[in-house]
């Protein structure tokens, strides 16, 4: 569909002073992908920013592909992101009778008609369009004929305008005009009496009181095809805001290798926090000056459609991971401990959970995800004797053995098991051996954790406690 656009500032449709109602309308044929999550976020924020309502509609009219697991995944993902909706979710399929009612009203008012074209006639029309190298735009011969009597099957088609032009002043894309000659008589009601997506969306938006349709710009052409239905029913036009798509880092269409996976993947497989995903999605196509770290409260206070850019955004997983690291460091220790504990098998007991919470200040600075927190916390709960990672084995061999023996003796003699006393003792061992602190700390770290890397070695000693620490060191001293 061809269109012309300009940057006109005027906005058609529902005035901004009206009670704002936005909606998110996913199709439950798969997971909630990252682009859909951003659309939901923008709708949620705009409603909250304007004191309006945010509604949820599940567009489950594709009965063959809609599944309950997909519905559950969408609802769970939205709840995880903190995108609560007002009232109950609306299920589109349950409203089929209402959709059909509107189609028949449009026939009675002369804005739609019964079409008896056969599959063969449609195929011939399609072949003619292909031969002429033009898109198929159906103008049925039944458009201006009287309906046939009897039980002959028919569909109900929109009687689209054929002259003039339709203009939409989109809040993101600007003013866009399409010649009405490019519109076709789309099907509103199939021959089996079921409504099409185009009809159902318009009816549901009206009946739900939606004032602002904020969605991906892949739906922009649909807006021009849906407006004739709205005008035929003499319903108020919504304000449109068609948001550019998200591309991969290379500028190509977002794919699974770029991050086009379900929201639950970021939670379960990548260990992201919802506030980090929300913050990243907000900045993916919307801006407020140079602000990068934006809290939910700030987002609600600042969000407006004018801040959405007209160009596609590029998804960058590394930026998301960096942002997640910030939120990990800011997160409550008890909350993080519960998230980490949930990933341990077998489950941690109360004492272990308390230990995990105490460890968070030492673990957080080194982690960019819950997954990395889990990995960093493993040393706390490992069973003796520790298996030493291959890369750490050289650290406890050879000349490290007398150092470990000296460390065990020095630490065992301590009256106080705190950071200050532990550091003093370890430094004294290094000084007595005539080596640098690192040459003592490295074998000590390997003996205590089985790895080359860990939180600060004195924090490790405090967290493990006297008995466990001395036992692990003793296990690695070769007789």
Count of alpha carbons within 13 angstroms of residue 174, beta-carbon side:
9
**CB-based contacts of 2: which residues, under 8 Å, 6+ apart?**
178, 179, 182
CA 21 – CA 46 distance, rounded (Å)? 9
CA 470 – CA 226 distance, rounded (Å)? 74
CA 458 – CA 11 distance, rounded (Å)? 63
CA 427 – CA 445 distance, rounded (Å)? 14
CA 42 – CA 23 distance, rounded (Å)? 10
Tell me if residue 112 falls in helix, strand or coil. Answer: strand
CB neighbour class for 466 (10 Å; exposed up to 12, middle 13-18, buried from 19):
middle
CA 305 – CA 220 distance, rounded (Å)? 16
Q: Is 310 annotated as a binding residue?
A: no
User: Residue 68's CB: how many other CB atoms inside 10 A?
Assistant: 9
| Strand stretches in 332-460, DSSP E | none
Strand partners, 178: 166
User: Residue 164's CB: how many other CB atoms inside 10 A?
Assistant: 9
Strand partners, 113: 157
CA 250 – CA 255 distance, rounded (Å)? 11
CB neighbour class for 289 (10 Å; exposed up to 12, middle 13-18, buried from 19):
exposed
Q: Which of 133, 256, 318, 478 is catalytic?
A: 256
- Length of the chain equals 479
Check: CB of residue 5 under 8 Å from CB of residue 242: no
Tell me if residue 176 falls in helix, strand or coil. Answer: strand
| Nearest alpha carbon to residue 376 among 328, 440, 421 | 328
Strand partners, 55: 23
Strand partners, 476: none
Q: Give the dihedral of Cα atoms 74, 77, 82, 85; nearest 10 deg.
A: 10
Check: CB of residue 284 under 8 Å from CB of residue 315: yes
Pair of tokens at residue 71: 């519905």
CA 238 – CA 229 distance, rounded (Å)? 12
256 is an active site residue: yes
Please enumerate, by residue number, every residue annotated as part of a binding site for ATP: 256
Which residues are known to be catalytic?
256
Binding residues: 256
């Amino acid at each position: 569909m061809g269109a012309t656009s300009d940057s006109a500032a005027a906005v058609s449709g529902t005035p901004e002073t009206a009670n704002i109602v936005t909606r998110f309308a996913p199709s439950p044929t798969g997971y909630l992908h990252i682009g859909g999550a951003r659309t939901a976020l923008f709708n949620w924020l705009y409603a909250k920013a304007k004191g309006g309502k945010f509604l949820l509609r599940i567009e489950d009219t594709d009965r063959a592909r809609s599944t309950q697991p997909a519905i559950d995944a969408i609802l769970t993902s939205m709840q995880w992101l903190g995108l609560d909706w007002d009232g109950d979710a609306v299920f589109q399929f349950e409203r089929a009778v209402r959709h059909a009612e509107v189609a028949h009203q449009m026939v009675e008012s002369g804005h739609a008609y019964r079409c008896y074209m056969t599959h063969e006639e449609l195929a011939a029309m399609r072949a003619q369009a292909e031969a002429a190298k033009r898109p198929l735009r159906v103008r049925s011969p039944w458009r201006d004929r009287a309906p046939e009597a009897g039980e002959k099957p028919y569909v109900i088609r929109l009687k689209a305008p054929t002259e003039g032009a339709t203009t939409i002043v989109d809040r993101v894309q600007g003013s866009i005009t399409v010649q009405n000659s490019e519109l076709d008589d789309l099907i509103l009601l199939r021959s089996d009496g079921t409504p099409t997506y185009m009809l159902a969306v318009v009816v549901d938006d009206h009946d739900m009181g939606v004032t602002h349709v904020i969605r991906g710009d892949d739906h922009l052409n649909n807006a021009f095809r849906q407006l004739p239905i709205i005008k035929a029913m003499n319903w108020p036009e919504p304000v449109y805001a068609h948001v550019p798509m998200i591309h991969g880092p290379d500028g190509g269409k977002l794919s699974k290798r770029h991050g086009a996976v379900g929201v639950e993947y970021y939670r379960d497989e990548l260990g992201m926090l919802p506030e980090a995903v929300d913050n990243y999605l907000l900045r993916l196509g919307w801006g407020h000056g140079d602000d990068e770290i934006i809290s939910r409260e700030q987002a609600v206070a600042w969000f407006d459609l004018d801040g959405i850019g007209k160009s596609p955004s590029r998804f960058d997983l590394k930026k998301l991971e960096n942002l997640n690291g910030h939120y990990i460091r800011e997160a409550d220790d008890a909350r993080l401990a519960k998230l980490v504990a949930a990933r341990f098998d077998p489950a941690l007991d109360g004492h272990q959970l308390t230990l995990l919470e105490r460890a968070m200040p030492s673990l957080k600075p080194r982690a960019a995800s819950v997954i990395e927190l889990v990995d960093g916390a493993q040393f706390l709960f490992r069973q003796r004797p520790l298996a030493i990672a291959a890369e750490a084995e050289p650290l406890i061999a050879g000349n490290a053995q007398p150092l470990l023996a000296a460390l065990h003796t020095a630490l065992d003699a301590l009256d106080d098991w705190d950071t200050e006393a532990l550091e003093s003792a370890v430094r004294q061992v290094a000084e007595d051996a005539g080596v640098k602190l690192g040459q003592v700390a490295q074998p000590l770290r390997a003996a205590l954790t089985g790895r080359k890397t860990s939180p600060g070695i004195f924090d490790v000693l405090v967290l493990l406690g006297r008995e466990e620490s001395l036992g692990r060191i003793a296990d690695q001293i070769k007789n």
